[in-house]
Amino acid sequence: MRTAKSEIITHSPEDTRELAKELASNLKPPKLIALFGELGAGKTTFVQGFAEYFGIKTVRSPSFTLINEYKNSVKIYHVDLYRIEDAGELYPAGFFDLIQDKNAFVLVEWPEKIQDVVKFDVMVYIFHLDELSRKIKFQFI
């Protein structure tokens, strides 16, 4: 399993999606997954691959919607916290209810905004190396 290694270099968006599928194939819900990485690092690309493993091919960035929900054999909540200033803003959006959902994977972009108030099960760190290369590290709590 590549995700058990300390770090992997991907060389294309497709490569990152494949790696995310590998992670998906090794996890059972519920899981709260943090995706760290700067703007354009590949966090949404990673979620696309993760969801594709469960037959979901329609993942788009939730930058404006805050939370996107997908359902197939599992539920996937894709959360983008870029625009929030305070974890309190997540109560009306239902975030703290959905992280209790036993059938769901919750993948969070910009997790540093809520790291003090929730406990993530898996941390994914994506580093931009050059135009098509990313270094990806996994940490399982």
Footprint (CB under 6 A) of ligand ATP, residues 94-123: 109
Other CB atoms closer than 10 Å to residue 118's CB: what's the count?
A: 16
| Site stretch for Mg ion (CB under 5 A), options 3-11, 13-21, 97-105, 106-114 | 106-114
| Site stretch for Mg ion (CB under 5 A), options 10-18, 30-38, 94-102, 104-112 | 104-112
Report cis status (omega within 30 of 0) of the bond before 111: no
The alpha carbon dihedral of 44, 45, 47, 48 has a sign of: positive
Footprint (CB under 6 A) of ligand ATP, residues 7-66: 10-13, 15-16, 37, 39-45, 61
Amino acid found at 60: R
Contact partner at residue 68 from Mg ion, ligand ATP, none, CB < 5 to 8 Å by partner kind: none
Residue 93: CB minimum distance to ligand ATP, A = 17
| Rounded Cα gap, residues 119 and 10, in angstroms | 27
Is residue 43 a contact point for Mg ion (CB under 5 A)? yes
| Rounded Cα gap, residues 40 and 19, in angstroms | 17
Beta-ladder partners of 29:
none
Name 7's Cβ contacts closer than 8 Å, sequence gap at least 6: 135, 136, 137
Closer by beta carbon to ligand ATP, 5 or else 73:
5
Q: Name the site residues for ligand ATP (rule: CB under 6 A).
A: 10-13, 15-16, 37, 39-45, 61, 109, 132-134
Q: Name the site residues for Mg ion (rule: CB under 5 A).
A: 43-44, 61, 109
